[in-house]
Amino acid sequence: MAGLDPSRLPDHVAIIMDGNGRWAQRQGLRRVEGHARGVQSVRQTVEECCRLGITQLTLYCLSSENWKRPRDELDFLMALLSQFLIQERELLMRQNIRFQVIGRREGLSEPVLEEIRQSESLTRDNTGLLLCLAINYGARTELLDAFRKMASQVKLGTLEPESINEATVSESLYTAGMPDPDLLIRTAGEMRVSNFLLWQISYAELWVTQRCWPEFDIPTLHSALADYSLRQRRFGGLPGQSNP
C-alpha cells in the first residue's frame, strides 16, 4: 500500500473539494470545465479508498451557500451530478460501495433526486466503503434541523430535556449512524472548514494541500494518509492515556 501502514489509516476520510473553478481559469478554460475535470479526481479517490480499506469517504459536493453562484454554473453542476450518478452505478456495485447523500433535498431538481434515490436503493445492502456525498449541505442548517427534531420530540413527550446528551444530538444529525471523520482534507490551500460537518469534525485531524481538486491524485491522497498515520490523537487527553 505504497508504504502506508494499514493499522494507522483513518476509518473515515472527509474532503472539502475546492478549487475547481480556479484550476479551470488558470488553464484558460470556463469554470464549469473544472467541475467536469474534478469528477476524475472523485473517481480515482473513491477507487483508492476502496483498495485501502477505508470505511467511509465523505465528499463536500455542494454547500447550501453555493446556490449564490451563477445559474448556468448551478445548472451544469446538477446535470453533472445526474450524469455521475448514472455512470458510476456500475463502479458502486462492482466495488461493493454503499452510497448515501446528506443535506437538505429541498431545492434539488426531481431528476437529480430520482438518481439519488436509485443509487441509494441499489447499493443499500452493499457492505464495502460508504460513499457519502454532501449535497445542498450546511452544518449550521444540519444543527438547526437536529435541534428542531429534538424540540418536537420534547413537545410530544418522547424525549426528556434532561436526557439530551452528545449521543442524542449525534443521532439527530443527517449523519446519524455514521462514524465521525478521522481526517479532514481540504484542497486549494484554503484554511477554513466552510460550514462542513462542524459537530462531527470536533476531533478530526486537518490536512491542507495547495493543489486544486482537479489536481488531486493518488500520490496526494497517500501523502495525506501518511501524514495522518504519524500523528498522535489525544482527544483532549495526554500522551499515553487511552482514547475514547
Pairwise CA distance, residues 225 & 76, whole Å: 32
18 is catalytic: yes
212 touches 20 (CB < 8 A): yes
What is residue 5's predicted lDDT score, i.e. its pLDDT?
A: 94
What is residue 81's predicted lDDT score, i.e. its pLDDT?
A: 92
Q: Is the pTM of this model over 0.75?
A: yes
66 is catalytic: yes
- Domain coordinates in residue numbering, the chain: 14-227
What is residue 91's predicted lDDT score, i.e. its pLDDT?
A: 94
Q: What is the mean pLDDT of each run of 10 residues along the chain (244 residues)?
A: 86 97 94 92 97 98 82 87 94 97 91 96 98 96 98 98 97 98 98 97 98 98 97 70 56
Ramachandran sector of residue 202 (left: φ over 0; alpha: ψ -120 to 50; beta: rest): alpha
What is residue 74's predicted lDDT score, i.e. its pLDDT?
A: 86
| CATH number of the domain located at residue range(s) 14-227 in this protein | 3.40.1180.10
Quote the cell numbers at residue 210.
495547495
Residue type, 130: L
| Residue of 5, 11, 18, 217 marked catalytic | 18
| Residue of 11, 66, 125, 182 marked catalytic | 66
What is residue 16's predicted lDDT score, i.e. its pLDDT?
A: 98
> Which residues lie below 8 Å from residue 192, measured CB to CB, with a gap of 6+?
186
